Amino acid sequence: MRGVTHTLLGAAVVLPIAVSREPAVAAGCLWLGMVGGGLPDWLDLRSDFKTQFRLKHRGASHSLIVLVGCAALLYLGLISLQGSPAAFGGTAVAPKDSTVAAWVAALALGIGSHLGSDACTFAGIRPLLPFSQWKVWLLPRFLRSRSDGYLDTVVRVLALVTLAFGFVVYAGRWIARP
Ligand SMILES: [Zn+2]
């Protein structure tokens, strides 16, 4: 998939979590979903990790270890904020437990959506790197496409439709609130 598609898909997959939250938490979910959606390719193509660890495209950056590792880092970061409200000049903006859970899940889902959609392309992914070269695809061969092939368009349109639907549902809920 292209970068835009991954980002849109990352936002779309977190809607089930975001839709029942208050605006600030929901916005955080969407943002983390989009970050997660872009993260594996960012690690490969743009970041310093690329040169430092000699990452090959769709290598370990597209593995479950990155998903779990990033979710764990975010969890630890948010939990540490809870322990020290002074981190923000004494203002108590430490996230609640339910917010921490929602944001960590959003990041994991975003990264998961990236891995899942790349696993629908010809190249597939190797989710168990660096431990195993085992390769997976989520679609039968005749339905796979190139990263910029028909699937990119299909996924992008589906993500946009889902997002539009999500925003309508969300807006409806907040307008209908007493
Ligand atoms: Zn990718």
Question: How far, in Å, is the centroid of ligand 1 from the Cα of 116?
Answer: 9
Question: How far, in Å, is the centroid of ligand 1 from the Cα of 141?
Answer: 19
- Please tell me the predicted confidence (pLDDT) of residue 21: 92
Task: Give ∠ CA 127-124-120 in degrees, rounded to 5.
Answer: 110
- Please tell me the predicted confidence (pLDDT) of residue 144: 93
Question: How far, in Å, is the centroid of ligand 1 from the Cα of 37?
Answer: 9
Question: How far, in Å, is the centroid of ligand 1 from the Cα of 77?
Answer: 25
Question: How far, in Å, is the centroid of ligand 1 from the Cα of 40?
Answer: 6
Residues, CB-to-ion distance under 5 Å, ligand 1: 40-41, 118
Whether the CB-CB separation of 113 and 32 falls below 8 Å is answered with no
The answer to whether residue 92 scores a pLDDT higher than 70 is: no
Cα–Cα dist 115/111, whole Å: 6
Over residues 65-86, mean pLDDT = 88
C-alpha gyration radius of the chain: 18
Whether the CB-CB separation of 94 and 85 falls below 8 Å is answered with yes
Q: Which of 87-91, 117-121, 173-177 has the lowest mean pLDDT?
A: 87-91
Domain ranges of the chain: 3-176
* Matching residue, tokens 């430092």: 52
DSSP string, 104-165: HHHHHHHHHHHHHHHTTBTT-B-TTTTT----B-SS-GGG-B-TTSHHHHHHHHHHHHHHHH
pTM, whole model, 2 decimals?
A: 0.90
Cα–Cα dist 159/135, whole Å: 26
pLDDT, tens only, 14-59: 999 999 899 999 999 999 999 999 999 998 876 666 666 655 678 8
Over residues 60-89, mean pLDDT = 85
Cα–Cα dist 104/95, whole Å: 12
Cα–Cα dist 31/55, whole Å: 25
| Phi, psi of 135, rounded to the nearest 5 degrees | -110, 140
The answer to whether residue 164 scores a pLDDT higher than 70 is: yes
Whether the CB-CB separation of 126 and 134 falls below 8 Å is answered with yes
Question: How far, in Å, is the centroid of ligand 1 from the Cα of 157?
Answer: 18
